[in-house]
Structure 1
Amino acid sequence: MGIFEDDSEPSFERWLAERLDGLAPGIRSETERWTRVLRDGSPRSLPRREGTVWLYLNWVRPALLEWSNRYDHLREVTRDDVLTYIKTLHGHRRHDQLVALRSLFIWAKRNGLIFRNPASRIRAGQYEYAVLQPLVPEQVDRSVAAATTPATRLILALAAVHAARVATLMLDDVDLGNRRLTVAGHVRPIDDLTLQLLLDWLEHRRSRWPNTANLHLLINNQTANATSWASNHWISAAMRGQDATLERLRVDRQLEEAMVKGPDPLHLAEVFGLDEKTAMRYADSARALLEQAAEQQSP
């Protein structure tokens, strides 16, 4: 009827206010603008996934809290300040926090908030990734048992069979007539199991929300009345606490492809739409696992 006014505060706003608490006013306002550009995008940048935005702000927060004790604005932060801070970090923490700080200062320089980028030409360094390990059947079975609704069963299958991130999948990405599924711009055939779970979910979706205007494949009580995608928190809820989480199921599927078809990063990039570095990491892990298996079988 057009008379409902939703005045509830979005969870992102509550989280953002909490994360910015304690920063100097000038640094707080600049960091808030950067965070919103990460989430919403701008004419010069694409929006990031909400999970990525959370990580970036969490990574820069410790440094910003420290600098807020003596500075009021980002333009006061010097290269020596950045070098002194990152000397206290090692491994993943050093790499991740420096990447996030670079993003913040590049944005600030581009928008005229600072005169020079204090994080430029500071090497993040490289670290060795551990060999990815496949899931064991018992771990997958427990996750299968935890998926008890049409939505969670479909989410599980899309992750385990197609290595798909389902939040942004649209109804148009599913072609039931030709049994095709488009994931991240790549068309994949729909197997019998996924087809049946898709049919079950679409029937449930039609009967539960027959008048929804939301064109995303996965919807819930909140998003059925809007046009946005379902949150990653809702999507991963059923698998939370399991060894075989949705992310590990996606990793396991891509690792399986590399071991069955051969550790070819070009093949993995073509099938799953992976970037070059990620595809090479899966290929390297598959190669190491295959070599280990061969050594164990040799007399």
Structure 2
Amino acid sequence: MEQARTLQEPGRALDLAGANRYGQQLFLANMQFQRPRTPRLKDEPPQAGPKNFTPLSWRQMPLLEVDPDPEVVRARALAADSDLLRYCQDVVRDHAKKYGWGKEQRNKVRRSLRLLQVLQDTPGAKINASDVLQLPRYGGSINSTLDVLAAAGLLIDDRKPLIDRYFAGKTATLPAPMLAELKIWLEVMLNGSTTPPRQRSRDPQTARIHILGAAPIVQAWAAAGHQSLAEITPEQVRASLPAGGSRRNFAEYGLRSLFTVLKARKLIFINPTRGMRVTPVNRSVPLPLDTGAIREALNSPDPAIALAVALVAFHALTSKELLDLTLTDIVDGRLTLGDRVIPLAGPVRVRLAAWLDHRVSTWPGSINPHLFVSRRSAPRVIPVGRQFPWFRTKLRPQALREDRILQEILATGGDIRRICDLFGISVSSALRYGATVGHPDLAEGHGWTLRTPDSM
């Protein structure tokens, strides 16, 4: 019967004999079955969806884990239809209108939703974010689809944080007791502890640096036959540290944090890092950049590159400050950064005007409040990535910022107070630049010439 319904032609009765002439397809009883609808024409407007939709509260567990054939999935997606899809049509339209999406992006999201409908184990249930991440394999898009599902209230965000994935990759081969100890440490690092001894949560980036420093050493102990960190002695800790440099510094901080938490939780008998001093890292001497490279980037035909380089080269903004800049931070040629008000240099204003004209003409409907936007961030309200737009240049923002501060400290003869006020840096950071005054390699006549922002 089910096979006959599958092969039934519109307007014709069921042909049981013809459908079973070459064999029978078995079906599981009482399973939901929907007849594929006729694909909608390209220019045909989407059907109005239901005003309300209640997703299923239960989920059908898959009988077998089989990777779908991408070609079959794409073919079935053309005819996919359900109440969930029709409900999402209105959400897509409203979301696109609010964030200034174009027709191409709207169609990509609709196609992605149909792909998800085909891939769902339980049609009509909420959709896992991990399933959305698989869409590129079938020609779908990720970020815009996630935004629509979240707006529709149909998204289950089961994505693992980056720090969890990084931790799992570094500890996958460790013995079970050692891995359990490391998981307890990571839990305390990320979420803190409200029971004595109390501890505040740390930034995930701090935990990542500790893992970076400690993971190679812990892996070496596991390879040597140790099952638990309670077996580690102070002598073994000192013998396993790198010879010097930043790698030794990262390892010392990582191991101290790890063993301090485990000792506080009474998971080890002694703290083998107790009393161990942290090796100071030698500070590098700031060096000037090639003027030609800076001038080339300032005159880049890409308005985003030209503006970003100008803001750093003239006003020494940090990479994070660039990412966080909003359109309302600049008023009447003045940039407000916290308590600082910076009058923008003339070359910066010229490049700012060029970028704003480019932004309006490229993304006229974008409501993103950030100054810098990209193809990925313009349809949303998120900042651009950390590498934007520097991945298209030979410069790095930190090196360019150091070059600008170095020029100022040398031009003023080592005025520490001046660069603290001008660039918003601490006295200890300013002293690092002040130490370059009188350095023989930075004297004129040794291949380097002092320049001012106006000379660029």
Confirm or deny a common fold (TM above 0.5). Answer: yes
Confirm or deny: 8 A CA contact 2:191 2:200 kept in the other structure.
no
**Residue in structure 2 matching 1:47, options 203, 207, 216:** 203
Q: 1:14 Cα deviation (Å)? A: 5.7
Confirm or deny: 8 A CA contact 1:74 1:114 kept in the other structure.
yes
Map of 2:124 onto structure 1: none
CA distance 1:149–1:295, shift in 2 (3 Å) = closer
Q: 1:281 Cα deviation (Å)? A: 0.9
CA distance in 2, matches of 1:68, 1:176: 58
Matched, 1:254 2:405: yes
Matched, 1:202 2:202: no
CA distance 1:59–1:269, shift in 2 (3 Å) = farther
Map of 2:248 onto structure 1: 94
**Residue in structure 2 matching 1:277, options 428, 433, 443:** 428
CA distance in 2, matches of 1:38, 1:111: 13
CA distance in 2, matches of 1:84, 1:162: 46
Q: 1:215 Cα deviation (Å)? A: 2.9
Q: 1:65 Cα deviation (Å)? A: 1.5
One-letter code aligned to 1:169: D
CA distance in 1, matches of 2:356, 2:212: 37
Confirm or deny: 8 A CA contact 1:263 1:287 kept in the other structure.
no
CA distance 1:200–1:33, shift in 2 (3 Å) = farther
- Larger Rg computed on CA atoms: 2
Q: Which runs of 5+ in 1 are unaligned?
A: none
Confirm or deny: 8 A CA contact 1:212 1:225 kept in the other structure.
yes
CA distance in 1, matches of 2:282, 2:291: 28
CA distance 1:74–1:136, shift in 2 (3 Å) = same
State how 1:86-165 maps to structure 2 within 5 Å.
Answer: 86=241, 88-106=242-260, 117-144=271-298, 147-165=300-318
Matched, 1:83 2:238: yes
Confirm or deny: 8 A CA contact 1:158 1:166 kept in the other structure.
no
CA distance 1:33–1:281, shift in 2 (3 Å) = farther
Confirm or deny: 8 A CA contact 1:166 1:218 kept in the other structure.
no
CA distance 1:203–1:139, shift in 2 (3 Å) = closer
Confirm or deny: 8 A CA contact 1:163 1:254 kept in the other structure.
yes
CA distance in 2, matches of 1:34, 1:139: 45
Identify the structure with the greater helix proportion.
Answer: 1
One-letter code aligned to 2:213: W
Map of 2:218 onto structure 1: 64
CA distance 1:275–1:106, shift in 2 (3 Å) = farther
Q: 1:197 Cα deviation (Å)? A: 2.1
CA distance 1:130–1:100, shift in 2 (3 Å) = same
CA distance 1:204–1:90, shift in 2 (3 Å) = same
CA distance 1:248–1:37, shift in 2 (3 Å) = farther
CA distance 1:53–1:45, shift in 2 (3 Å) = closer
Higher normalized contact order (CA 8 Å, seq sep 6+, divided by chain length): 1
What secondary structure, in the 3-state scheme, does the structure 2 residue paired with 1:131 have?
coil
CA distance 1:130–1:46, shift in 2 (3 Å) = closer
**Considering only aligned residues, what root-mean-square deviation do their CA atoms show, in Å?**
3.9
TM-score if structure 2 supplies the norm length?
A: 0.52
TM-score if structure 1 supplies the norm length?
A: 0.74
Q: 1:90 Cα deviation (Å)? A: 1.6
One-letter code aligned to 1:174: D
Q: 1:195 Cα deviation (Å)? A: 1.8
**Residue in structure 2 matching 1:180, options 319, 329, 335:** 335
